[in-house]
Amino acid sequence: MSRSDHRSTRAGELADRLHPAGLLYSTYEARLLDQLDRSRLPEHVAVLADGNRRWARLNAPGQPLVTGYRAGAAKLGHFCAWCDEVGVPVVTLWVLSTDNLQRAETGELDELLRVIEDLVVTLSDNPSWRVQVVGDLNLLPAEMACVLRDACQHSIDHRGMHINVAIAYGGRHELRDAVRELLAEEAGKGTSLTQLSQTLEIDQIAEHLYTRGQPDPDLIIRTSGEQRLSGFLMWQSAHSEFYFCEALWPDFRKVDFLRALRSFSQRERRYGR
């Protein structure tokens, strides 16, 4: 999402808010914000932003599917701003799975990768947000991987909200990479496989995940009516709460986000007890 796209989107949002229906939504948003129990908000919100292609087919017939990807990227920027507004310290956005890399047509994939690259660069330009790419960058074009690494490095000293952008991400890939890294580390210490099999602890695996050092997601949101995780944060989601929304991702509104937070704050989290 370029800066000009961002400005035009903001202008469109302002026009929508000045419309009578927009004023009603604004009033409802304000009421939901006032009703939120700030002491029970999640520390980490993750989102599966699903439905961009379907949105494009429904709302921009005859236009290329990249129209939906651009709309989805713009909404991801707004989503991060909403999370920052209420004080969520960690956000994870899943924008490209390992399965997507295998299924997409070459031309469509190239367009999607450009949208994702622009999104990461735009997010890293926010002076408060620290951006981290999680996934297997070796699966991406080398030039794009370099741009993503530079964007993350650009934001490394930012002390505000932490944004993980899951690109070329798969839950099984993450666990594979964690185990590989763990085995290599232990081998470097001279630990035999027999010793490791007898002493391996859960925390040792967690220390090699892409999100190491971060709190696990308290709340995972998925849009477009799909009610499955599709391998997203398989390890980290053991105790997550889930919120499924029927809206296609570009249609996901701030009121939908606030409803998700309200639902989360009203739940009694038992952690398996």
Active site residues: 50, 100
Sign of CA dihedral 111, 117, 121, 124: positive
CA distance 9 to 153: 27
Are 235 and 257 a contacting pair, CB within 8 Å?
no
Helix orientation angle between 254-265 and 20-35, rounded to the nearest 10 degrees: 20
Vertex 133 angle, CA 152 and 231, to 5°: 170
Question: Which residues make Cβ contacts (< 8 Å) with residue 104, sequence separation at least 6?
Answer: 112
Alpha helices in 189-253 (DSSP H): 193-199, 202-206
Question: Which residues make Cβ contacts (< 8 Å) with residue 115, sequence separation at least 6?
Answer: 1, 66, 69, 70, 73
Query: 180-204: string of b/e by CB count within 10 Å (b at 16+)?
Result: eebeeebeeeeeeeeeeeeeeeeee
